[in-house]
Chains A and B, each alone.
Chain A
Amino acid sequence: MSLLEVRDLKKHFPIRTGVFKRTTGHVYAVDGVSFNVEKGETMGLVGESGGGKSTVGRTVLRLTEATGGEVTFEGIDVMKASRSDMNTLRKDMQIVFQDPYASLNPRMRIRDIVGEALKIHGIGTEAERKKRVADLLETVGLNSEHAERYPHEFSGGQRQRIGIARALSLNPKLIVLDEPVSALDVSIRAQVLNLLEDLQDEFGLTYLFVSHDLSVVKHISDRVAVMYLGKIVEISDSAVLYTMPQHPYTEALLSAVPIPDPHTERARRRIVLEGDVPSPANPPSGCVFHPRCPRAQEICTTAMPRLTVMGDAGERHEVACYFPARFGDGKRVVSDKPYTDALPEPKA
């Protein structure tokens, strides 16, 4: 059993307009997403803005209620959990946010921020909690004397460490990391990434790592899911995904990232996608990627392909495409004939 199982997760935000706040449409932020996260691994969720990756993280933790689908954590149905069950679940599932400035209450001392969860769940005496906060601060590389200070006295990187200490306070099993290093400077980013890796080793943590930065996701993830307009278009072991991408969107994403190496940069050819990401309020019919896809054909406009395993680029490599790149004999081939196995099953 996987630690976290997500089945057909959907989150549609209603668009309300007019005097009577009538629902006139929906933003399909997450639209039928399924994946598993095994204990101790890091699952990366990557994609551009509007892809719905952050919403997945928040829906899994029920910080926002899902429109449909199932989330199972250690066999417990998170979506149907009662208030008190949810309280127990919160101890096991935590989150670190992107913005180290907005995610800490400016009017609370560090000791209260980091120790809040202990207090809420009634863990330990006052003295024990104080000791625990001091330990947590040391664990994330801060000084235990920092407990009496306020957030504004810290730099961005230090604040992010405080956010991590807070997430660790209840000894969680799963931590959702929502763009945890995007707001940090390059040199600080590496410090925080290393810290996250160390903590994972030390406490056996499982991460759901949400980011738009492919290099960071590649560095930290064991598995990676690529999202586009609310759907996972490709999911695979990290090493395989980056060397043998099958979906044209993944290829384009990887090719668009500039590499800090002038020679490589001059030598390689980039795929530059045309146009912009369509609005998730009005996703294209058929495959969501087809309007920007260099390989799109007639079939792509009919229905969204489902995730299928082809086997030639890893057993755990799923891709949702009618014209995936194949790696049969170690050579990359794109067939002109649609891969019809990807057609969605007719509804029973």
Chain B
Amino acid sequence: MGERLLTIKDLSTHFFTHAGVVKAVNGVSFTLDRGETIGIVGESGSGKTVAAMSLMRLIPDPPGKVVEGSLMLGDRDLRTISDDEMRGVRGNDIAMIFQDPMTSLNPVMKVGKQIAEAITLHQDKGKREAWQMAAKLLARVGIPDADKRVDQYPFEFSGGMRQRAMIAMAISCNPDVLIADEPTTALDVTIQAQIIDVVREMQAQFDSGVILITHDLGVIAEISDKVMVMYGGRTVEYGPVDEIFYNAHHPYTWGLLASLPRLDESEKTRLTPILGQPPNLITLPAGCPFTARCPYRREECRDKWPAHEAVGPDHGVHCWIPVEERVAIRAGLPHFKEPAA
């Protein structure tokens, strides 16, 4: 892998509300290299989106606050640089694509104009040149008749095309880091396939690092190099994509994989759900947030957060179950898959 782009260490973001402190992110660490795609997977309330927003310094204060951690972009500390500098970072160095392209585009401004503005804001380009670049970018992300499309308004675009336009805007300044927050969730499956292809192509072309936030393990399997599994604001497991899918060590990761109905299964089998309800982030236990739903929990789980344990190359887990026992449990799981030869 290439040069290190991002180093996140012990990131904690809390929201201070009338009902108590919502501990959305608690001590999350990860790194991102050039050319690498890291998938952050988790359910609602897992803190995956808030973690990304903290990185962009987009958490509104009040009620939110990054209470701890260091966020390093190269050798720049994203927590201490000025707001002006941060504005330069957003877009130039880190760009973000959102789930809903509908609310992220200005409805009363031509698509081309929106992209061109983004370009002139960060680059020393003339308006005419920026406009031509916008058309080229739209063509590049696969919008047919891009020359005509630049002159249209967002409502004339379909959902898939809007998401393409957002990607065009995001890559216009060749950012080092691209954060995609559920970029395909609102789209139909055949359109999703198109968008995933675009993201992949763009990454290959610009050699940027991609942070892909999603709840869809299929999308993760398709384009991630590394995976971070989050639950209740914590990273429970972290590792290369194959390790997470074939050599998972955390009960929550097992649970996620077992609860999926799969297209590639020939037999109709019963799903193994994770019992219980998602956690409340105000009343989280001091220890592992998954304790209440974990079938293998033990005494220490609730009150103490387990230390990081390396279980393979670049593969770590936070779990109190001793490693031998984990492997034994996993071997007995009906749904656990060994990699196809």
> Do any CB atoms of chain A lie under 8 A from CB atoms of chain B in the complex?
yes
User: Of residues 210 to 234 in A, which have CB atoms within 8 Å of B's CB atoms?
Assistant: 212, 214-216, 218-220
Chain B nearest CB, measured from A196 CB (Å): 11
* Bound-state Cα–Cα, A24 to B264, Å: 46
A215 x B262 contact (CB < 8 A): yes
Judge whether B259 and A190 touch: CB under 8 Å.
yes
A186-B43, A186-B256, A252-B190 known; A258 and B271 CB under 8 Å?
no
Segment of A59-67, A88-96, A261-269, A307-315 in the binding face: A261-269
Q: Which residues of B contact A48 (CB under 8 A)?
A: 188-191
What is the bound-complex CA distance between A212 and B186, given in angstroms?
Answer: 12
Taking a contact as CB atoms under 8 Å apart, the answer to whether A190 and B277 are in contact is no
| Chain B residues in 8 Å Cβ range of A194 | 270-271, 273
B193 touches A261 (CB 8 A): no
CB-CB < 8 A to B158: which residues of A? Answer: 276
Q: Which of B186-214 touch A at CB < 8 Å?
A: 188-194, 196-197
User: In the complex, A219→B246 CA distance in Å?
Assistant: 22
Say yes or no for B328: interface residue by CB 8 A criterion: no
The residue from A155, A187, A260 contacting B273, defined by CB atoms under 8 A apart:
A187
Q: B260 contacts which chain A residues (CB < 8 A)?
A: 186, 190, 215, 260
Taking a contact as CB atoms under 8 Å apart, the answer to whether B273 and A272 are in contact is: no
B263 within 8 A of A: yes
Does A123 lie at the interface of the complex (its beta carbon under 8 Å from any beta carbon of B)? no
A270 to B161, CA, bound (A): 20
Per-residue contact bits, chain A 180-214, to B (CB 8 Å; 1 contact, 0 not)? 00000111111101100100000000000000101
Q: How far is the CA of A214 from the CA of B215 in the complex (A)?
A: 16
Docked pose: A49 CA to B159 CA in angstroms? 11
The answer to whether B286 has its CB under 8 Å from any CB of chain A is no
A257 at the A/B interface (Cβ < 8 Å)?
A: yes
- Contacts A219-B271, A256-B193, A262-B221 given: A242-B44 contact, CB under 8 Å? no
Please classify how large the interface on chain A is, using the bins under 10, 10 to 19, 20 to 34, 35 or more.
35 or more
A197 to chain B, nearest CB (A): 7
Residue A157, interface by CB 8 Å: yes
B32 within 8 A of A: no
Contact status A215-B255, CB under 8 Å:
no
In the complex, are the beta carbons of A190 and B189 less than 8 A apart? Answer: no
Shortest distance from the beta carbon of B214 to any chain A beta carbon, whole Å: 10
How far is A189 from B262 in the complex, measured between Cα atoms in Å?
Answer: 13
Contact indicator B222/A265 (Cβ below 8 Å): yes
Assess whether B298 is interfacial by the CB under 8 Å rule. no
List of A residues within 8 angstroms of B256 by Cβ: 186-187
Contacts of A277 in B (CB 8 A): 188, 190
| Interface residue? A158 (CB, 8 A) | yes
* Contact code string B259-285 (vs A, CB < 8 Å = 1, else 0): 111111010101111110110000000
Q: In the complex, what residues of A have CB within 8 A of residue B193's CB?
A: 255-256, 258, 270, 272-273
**A190–B264 CB distance below 8 A:** no
Query: Is A254's beta carbon under 8 Å from chain B?
Result: yes
Instruction: Answer yes or no: A253 CB below 8 A from chain B CBs.
Output: yes
A253 touches B264 (CB 8 A): no
How many angstroms between the C-alpha atoms of A270 and B200 in the bound complex? 14
Q: A186-B260, A187-B43 are in contact. Are A276 and B220 (CB under 8 A)?
A: no
User: A215–B261 contact, CB under 8 A?
Assistant: yes
26 A-B pairs (CB sep. < 8 Å): A185-B215, A187-B43, A188-B277, A189-B259, A189-B261, A190-B259, A190-B260, A193-B261, A214-B189, A216-B261, A218-B263, A253-B190, A257-B263, A258-B218, A258-B222, A259-B218, A259-B221, A259-B222, A260-B217, A261-B245, A262-B339, A264-B221, A265-B221, A267-B340, A272-B197, A277-B188
Query: B residues bordering A, Cβ < 8 Å?
Result: 43-44, 144, 158-161, 188-194, 196-197, 215-222, 241-242, 245-246, 255-264, 266, 268, 270-275, 277-278, 293, 337, 339-340
The 8 closest A-B pairs by CB, nearest first: A258-B218, A190-B273, A219-B261, A190-B259, A187-B274, A260-B217, A48-B188, A185-B43
